[in-house]
Structure 1
């Protein structure tokens, strides 16, 4: 069993692992040979050392703070995105009224909005959650809305001839057909949540990995700064993989797995 899993992993990710290892070796060599100053790009070993030396502070204070912002923003994004997508799907006038506002919301730079959120909510967690929500809700709305429109029209017409109402069509056809698109939106959204939380902490925060990396960069502590960036990347990857596992299990149970 283990041998079979290893072969499958090697087949799927072997080339990536090889390329990643070669890049790390090249990175370490370039810095060790002095071709690039360590205060500009620290070596992987220096970043790893800084991560272990400051691990307790990074995880117990800053990682937990960023995770709270990500989770709250993600929950609000998913809840609001689903409600908005279903509302636009059901009501054509509502779609024409709200869809342009969603597009406009994504054209405004978050850096310009963050000071406004700080003015409204202060230096609390909610100013960062607002940035996360504005960053992450758009993929949920668009993916769910597009997925709901993929319902099988012929099957829907058949059910309508059998007396099915609008709610039954939604539950039987439209909602199951929208699940793959919905989970694609979730995967995008959870990554955007980490980005949004980092931006919010950079512009106005007292804790969090974004705040820590900004403070370290201003003090030219590049090892610690890259360590916090590494943790942000690992956080995004972990949350993304959780959504992937949930997607595989849920779609497999519904008979919609790829």
Structure 2
């Protein structure tokens, strides 16, 4: 009952937006190819459900593949930054400075390098998602309590123990925060890659529908992209809860026994 009560305001707000979307365009005389009614969007989605399902699978595959590589590269970069003073002075500033270059300007370069197959879309996703994972994880390493480290050293802890039992647990919340951010924006990276050059995916579907002034098809694709972003965020949030629950004192005590 408490969960239902807490979800009620969100549900009411969503219903209000849906009602405004349905009655607003005809009420204010907005052409259907600019803002179609919600019922037309849903009807278009149902009519093209098989085609949208195929495009949805392509886009989510690109997003997940790029996200996986970003997790690997971002984590390795963060560990390197933490373990090397040279990397901390050189690599970390370069990662931060790289965000001053508009990603949309680098995306065509990825297409030239990797062509029009899936890897150009994956590369664009990595451009979007690498930064939050690498920086948040590196900042998590830096947030480790130095007093705990000194205590562990006095008790004879080696470098491996210091990393696994002090640095890594301190970096885990930052990594999970970066993962949730990256999971959400990975959809945008995959979509942009498909816009620049692709034959399948929801980005290509919405681009073709826009060229034909099919507003209801464009909005149906956008709704699915939004749904994809929400699902990926919820998946990252579920992973966060599972990992942090595994690190709780009660579970730690059970594992030791």
State the TM bucket, normalised to the shorter chain.
over 0.9
In 1: Cα distance, 2:249 partner to 2:171 partner? 10
In 1: Cα distance, 2:108 partner to 2:149 partner? 48
Pair 1:59-2:49 in alignment: no
Which of 198, 211, 215 lines up with 2:191 in the alignment? 198
Which of 45, 68, 78 lines up with 2:71 in the alignment? 78
Gap regions ≥5 residues in structure 2: 251-257
Moved runs in structure 1, 4+ residues, more than 4 A? Answer: none
The aligned residue for residue 9 of structure 2 is 15
Which of 73, 90, 105 lines up with 1:97 in the alignment? 90
Task: Report the CA distance between 1:134 and its aligned residue.
Answer: 0.8
Pair 1:223-2:190 in alignment: no
The aligned residue for residue 3 of structure 1 is none
The change in CA–CA distance for 1:256 and 1:235 in structure 2 (over 3 A counts) is farther
In 2: Cα distance, 1:256 partner to 1:88 partner? 30
Matched positions, count: 250
In 1: Cα distance, 2:194 partner to 2:246 partner? 39
> Which one is further off, 80-89 or 178-187?
178-187
Pair 1:44-2:38 in alignment: yes
Kindly indicate whether the alpha-carbon contact (under 8 Å) linking 1:105 and 1:134 is maintained by their aligned counterparts in 2. Answer: no
In 2: Cα distance, 1:100 partner to 1:156 partner? 26
The change in CA–CA distance for 1:72 and 1:240 in structure 2 (over 3 A counts) is same
TM-score, normalised to structure 1, is 0.93
Deviation track 1:187-235 (CA, whole Å, cap 9, x = no partner) reads 0001111110011111111111011101100110010011010110101
Deviation track 1:8-49 (CA, whole Å, cap 9, x = no partner) reads 322332211111111111121112335322221011111100
Pair 1:130-2:130 in alignment: no
In 1: Cα distance, 2:192 partner to 2:33 partner? 23
The aligned residue for residue 179 of structure 1 is 172
In 2: Cα distance, 1:140 partner to 1:95 partner? 16
Kindly indicate whether the alpha-carbon contact (under 8 Å) linking 1:111 and 1:203 is maintained by their aligned counterparts in 2. Answer: no
Pair 1:165-2:158 in alignment: yes
Deviation track 1:78-118 (CA, whole Å, cap 9, x = no partner) reads 00000000100111221111122212322222222222111
CA RMSD of aligned residues (A): 1.5
Gap regions ≥5 residues in structure 1: 1-6
